[in-house]
């Protein structure tokens, strides 16, 4: 039987004994320092709350700064895909076009995105969340009914709506709009209004409707504006929001 002997070099007299946590800082290091200073538990909790508030505010300021820099040189998102059915024809930007352009531009400023999707009471709700590397997040939410246009099955109806909502929540969260391609046979791209801003404006008005009569009137006025802007894609997204609002108002009556 053998015994291994491990020799430990003695600590020099008077040398401070430090922990890894203390060297790195953090809440435990702050608490240990506060205890040495004779502070109470309540005082230490107050210090930690103050630290959390300060860090949250610094993260928020960093997010605002990053978004400001992002918008100084925003990505260009072209409507490349043609959609045609039942006498309707328009160009739109695919989710892939939107996501790739925005994701790459956001990453340069330390911002990532993700979507949360919820299905409840026949409605689909999609939330786009932008998160800065320092931890601050902001979100945009839209909801709509399954897209029953064409000959889609149930799964395809839900997938179509999710795709619509993902595309528009990401555009709305970043304040960007898609752009018509220059080669449009001289037809122009509507009156040049920001499609994302126009959509957000009418979504706000639709959600503010207190009854079905007000909602129907809002839908009628919005239809005229979307037609003038020649923005069929935004009009389709708006109709899904109206359908969701109509279902909510109907449930209350």
Three-state SS for the chain is CCCCCCCCCCCCCCCCCCCHHHHHCCHHHHHHHHHHCCCCHHHHHHHHHHHHHHHHHHHHHHHHHHHHHHHHCCCCCEECEEEEECCEEEEECCHHHHHHHHHHHHHCCCEEEEEEEEEECCEEEEEEEEEECCCCEEEEEEEECCCCCCCCCHHHHHHHHHHHHHHHHHHHHHCCCCEECCCCCCCCCCCCCCHHHHHHHHHHHHHHCCCHHHHHHHHHHHHHHHHHHCCHHHHHHHHHHHHHHHHHHHHHC
Around 156, how many Cα atoms within 13 Å sit in the side-chain half-sphere? 6
Q: Rounded mean pLDDT of 154-161?
A: 88
Residue 222 in any domain: the answer is yes
In angstroms, rounded to a whole number, what is the distance separating the alpha carbons of residues 87 and 218? 25
What pLDDT, on the 0 to 100 scale, is given for residue 132? 96
Exposed/middle/buried for residue 11 (C-beta within 10 Å: 0-12, 13-18, 19+): exposed
pLDDT digits (tens, 9 = 90+) for 100-151: 888 889 999 999 999 999 998 888 999 999 999 999 999 989 888 888 777 8
Which of 13-22, 40-49, 238-247 comes out lowest in average pLDDT? 13-22
Q: Rounded mean pLDDT of 42-59?
A: 84
What pLDDT, on the 0 to 100 scale, is given for residue 147? 81
Residue 109 in any domain: the answer is yes
Residue 15 in any domain: the answer is no
Residue 50 in any domain: the answer is no
Residue 53 in any domain: the answer is no
Q: Rounded mean pLDDT of 187-215?
A: 72
Q: Rounded mean pLDDT of 208-212?
A: 87
Percentage of the chain lying above the pLDDT 70 cut: 72
Residue 23 in any domain: the answer is no
Exposed/middle/buried for residue 173 (C-beta within 10 Å: 0-12, 13-18, 19+): buried
- Mean pLDDT, all residues of the chain: 76
**How many structural domains compose the chain?**
1
Pick the more confident residue, 115 or 87.
115
- Full domain range(s) for residue 112: 78-252
- Threshold 0.75, pTM exceeds: no
Residue 247 in any domain: the answer is yes
Q: Rounded mean pLDDT of 6-20?
A: 49
What pLDDT, on the 0 to 100 scale, is given for residue 184? 39
Percentage of the chain lying above the pLDDT 90 cut: 18
Answer yes or no: is pLDDT of 57 > 50.
Answer: yes
What pLDDT, on the 0 to 100 scale, is given for residue 118? 94
- Site of tokens 């300021």: 61
| Sequence-distant contacts of 59-65: CB under 8 A, at least 24 apart | 59/132, 59/134, 59/135, 59/136, 60/136, 62/110, 62/132, 62/134, 62/136, 63/111, 63/130, 63/132, 63/134, 63/136, 63/138
Residue 31 in any domain: the answer is no
What pLDDT, on the 0 to 100 scale, is given for residue 9? 52
């Amino acid at each position: 039987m053998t015994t291994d002997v491990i020799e430990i070099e003695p600590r020099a007299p008077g040398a401070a004994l430090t922990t890894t946590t203390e060297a790195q800082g953090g809440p435990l290091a702050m608490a240990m320092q506060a205890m040495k200073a004779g502070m109470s538990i309540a005082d230490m909790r107050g210090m930690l709350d103050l630290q959390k508030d300060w860090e949250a505010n610094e993260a928020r300021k960093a997010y605002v700064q990053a978004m400001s820099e992002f918008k100084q040189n925003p990505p260009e998102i072209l409507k490349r895909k043609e959609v045609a059915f039942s006498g309707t024809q328009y160009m739109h930007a695919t989710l892939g076009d939107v996501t790739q352009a925005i994701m790459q531009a956001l990453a340069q400023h330390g911002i990532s995105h993700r979507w949360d999707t919820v299905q409840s009471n026949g409605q689909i709700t999609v939330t786009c969340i932008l998160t800065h590397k320092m931890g601050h997040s902001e979100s945009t939410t839209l909801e709509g009914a399954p897209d029953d246009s064409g000959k889609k099955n149930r799964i395809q109806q839900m997938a179509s709506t999710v795709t619509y909502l993902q595309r528009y929540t990401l555009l709305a969260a970043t304040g960007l709009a898609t752009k018509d391609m220059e080669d449009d046979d001289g037809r122009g791209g509507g009156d040049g209004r920001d499609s994302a801003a126009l959509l957000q404006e009418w979504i706000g008005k639709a959600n503010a409707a207190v009854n079905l009569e007000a909602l129907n009137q809002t839908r009628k006025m919005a239809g005229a504006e979307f037609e003038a802007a020649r923005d069929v894609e935004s009009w389709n997204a708006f109709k899904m929001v109206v359908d969701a609002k109509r279902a909510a108002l109907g449930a209350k009556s």
